[in-house]
């Protein structure tokens, strides 16, 4: 399949790689260009000549250049070239150097699977593990007690005073939570640091968030009463991680044709967090694939918005299993066409929000895809999407301008993520074709 320019832009590790890629994305820089059903290749003339390959099944790339960026400018350039000058990249038989790499990739994947299976079978020193776990449990419990005291002090002294104190109190408390081995709480606190004074309804919002934090502490202490799924959620929210091997081995597995509904990257403390929202075409299941990148390193896998692939996902444990990992890919990624699988109207989606929130009260985001909604300005809510019944859902950010431009006011299918208050539109189907809606700034 071929990607649109927007989809390629989404693969770039940063803006400078992208502009460098555009420079090599012209036929003159290339020789030996070709494509097959599964791959793209070509030789790029720079200071030296580099061999560039792209595996079209998952958009993994390989280039002989020494760049540490990934995909490098040559690989992005090749993708851009195949999008802008398709005739320059003709169908051809796969050269040996490409064949070899593709072969190595599938062999490596097989080996990885084997290793995972082995690791799952390795006997662990159960006693030592239990001791470590107990130690951590103690520290977390102590940390939560300290947190409770701090929260109670805040309420006793009044939240109004926070506006003048800046982010400091939250940061101090967050650092304590890191020491107490509850990093999940720490990052929640850091997110609250900028809230006082930032918007007119900050007291209500801050109180709500502090309240949820209190609920989390309360819930963890009464873990026995929660049931195993919700307890798993609470533990993850505090910052207990579930190893990927464990998820792959024991997590709930769902095989389906998975559509990448949309993607968003958040910058958090020198780490970029990428969220890819998936929807199973036949099961209707939603899934969240998280990937992390520190200091400009690449996200390990490419999930391109508006493509779909058959795969078996394994879900992390929880009362509302959303986060998942790809256990096994079973087909190449293909471009999506036609309408999006999703809620028929806003009310149906809000009902889904209610059910999901009831199952997981600390729910932060939910994927959303809505059929046939128009874009409209609402006096009280600002920009919204509106369904055929006239029900609106407020929007986040400024992607509504592109949505309006592309739709011309006509109802279209949109996808995005719901943050509890507003919908951030990430994609839309225009004339049967998926369009990425974020990324105008990239």
Interface residues with another protein (CB under 8 A)?
A: 4-5, 19, 22-23, 26, 28, 47, 83-84, 148, 151-153, 155-161, 203-204, 207-215, 218, 346-347, 350, 353-354, 357-358, 361, 363, 374-381, 384, 386, 390-392, 394, 401-402, 404-406, 408-410, 420-421, 435, 440
- The enclosing H or E element of 188 equals helix 183-192
SS3 399: coil
Tokens standing for 251? Answer: 């997590």
Is the CB of 183 or the CB of 203 nearer to another protein?
203
Q: How far apart (Å, rounded) are the C-alpha atoms in residues 9 and 119?
A: 37
The answer to whether the CB of 370 falls within 8 A of the CB of 388 is: no
Is the CB of 244 or the CB of 357 nearer to another protein?
357
Is the CB of 288 or the CB of 384 nearer to another protein?
384
Tokens standing for 65? Answer: 């250049």
**In the complex, least distance from residue 357 CB atom to another protein, rounded to whole angstroms:** 4
In 3D space, the residue among 301, 313, 300 whose CA is nearest the CA of residue 251 turns out to be 313
Is the CB of 109 or the CB of 354 nearer to another protein?
354
Is the CB of 11 or the CB of 102 nearer to another protein?
11
Give one DSSP letter per residue of 293-328, joined into a string.
EETTPPPSS---TTEEEEEEEEEPSSSS--BEEEEE
**In the complex, least distance from residue 112 CB atom to another protein, rounded to whole angstroms:** 37
**In the complex, least distance from residue 259 CB atom to another protein, rounded to whole angstroms:** 21
Q: How far apart (Å, rounded) are the C-alpha atoms in residues 301 and 60?
A: 7
- In angstroms, the first-to-last Cα distance of the chain is 23
**In the complex, least distance from residue 166 CB atom to another protein, rounded to whole angstroms:** 18
Can you tell me which residue has the tokens 């995972």? Answer: 116
Q: How far apart (Å, rounded) are the C-alpha atoms in residues 400 and 375?
A: 7
**In the complex, least distance from residue 92 CB atom to another protein, rounded to whole angstroms:** 22
Q: How far apart (Å, rounded) are the C-alpha atoms in residues 365 and 370?
A: 16
Is the CB of 120 or the CB of 155 nearer to another protein?
155
**In the complex, least distance from residue 209 CB atom to another protein, rounded to whole angstroms:** 7
- The enclosing H or E element of 81 equals helix 73-84
Is the CB of 124 or the CB of 160 nearer to another protein?
160
**In the complex, least distance from residue 270 CB atom to another protein, rounded to whole angstroms:** 27
124: Cβ contacts below 8 Å, ≥ 6 apart: none
């Amino acid at each position: 399949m071929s990607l649109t320019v927007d989809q390629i832009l989404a693969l770039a590790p940063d803006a400078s790689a992208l502009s460098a890629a555009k420079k090599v994305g012209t036929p003159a820089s290339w020789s030996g260009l070709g494509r097959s059903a599964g791959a793209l290749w070509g030789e790029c003339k720079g200071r030296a000549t580099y061999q560039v390959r792209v595996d079209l099944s998952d958009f993994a790339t390989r280039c002989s250049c020494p760049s540490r960026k990934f995909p490098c400018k040559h690989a992005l350039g090749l993708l851009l070239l195949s999008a802008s000058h398709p005739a320059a990249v003709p169908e051809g038989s796969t050269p040996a150097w490409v064949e070899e790499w593709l072969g190595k990739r599938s062999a490596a994947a097989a080996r990885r699977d084997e290793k995972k299976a082995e690791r799952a079978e390795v006997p662990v020193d159960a006693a030592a593990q239990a001791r470590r776990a107990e130690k951590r449990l103690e520290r977390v419990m102590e940390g939560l007690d300290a947190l409770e005291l701090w929260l109670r002090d805040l309420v006793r002294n009044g939240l109004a005073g926070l506006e003048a104190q800046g982010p400091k109190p939250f940061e101090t408390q967050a650092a304590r939570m890191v020491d107490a081995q509850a990093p999940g709480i720490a990052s929640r606190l850091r997110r609250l640091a900028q809230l006082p004074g930032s918007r007119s309804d900050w007291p209500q919002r801050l109180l709500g968030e502090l309240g949820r934090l209190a609920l989390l502490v309360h819930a963890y202490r009464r873990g026995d009463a929660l049931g195993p799924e919700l307890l798993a959620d609470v533990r993850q929210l505090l910052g207990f991680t579930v190893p990927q091997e464990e998820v792959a081995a024991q997590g709930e597995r769902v095989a389906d044709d998975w559509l990448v509904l949309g993607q968003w990257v958040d910058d958090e403390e020198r780490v970029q967090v990428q969220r890819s929202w998936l929807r199973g075409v036949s099961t209707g299941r939603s899934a969240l694939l998280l990937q992390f990148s520190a200091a400009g390193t690449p996200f390990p896998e490419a999930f391109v918005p508006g493509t779909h692939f058959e795969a078996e996902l394994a879900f992390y444990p929880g009362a509302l299993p959303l986060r998942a990992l790809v256990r096994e890919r079973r087909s190449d990624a293909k471009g999506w066409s036609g309408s999006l699988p999703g809620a028929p109207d806003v009310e149906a989606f809000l009902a889904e929000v209610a059910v999901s929130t009831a199952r997981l009260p600390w729910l932060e985001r939910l994927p959303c895809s809505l059929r046939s909604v128009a874009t409209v300005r609402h006096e009280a809510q600002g920009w919204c999407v509106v369904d055929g019944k006239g029900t609106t859902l407020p929007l986040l950010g400024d992607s509504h301008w592109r949505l309006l431009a592309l739709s011309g006011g006509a109802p279209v299918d949109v996808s995005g993520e719901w943050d509890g208050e507003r919908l951030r539109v990430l994609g839309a189907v225009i004339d049967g074709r998926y369009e990425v809606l974020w990324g105008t700034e990239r």
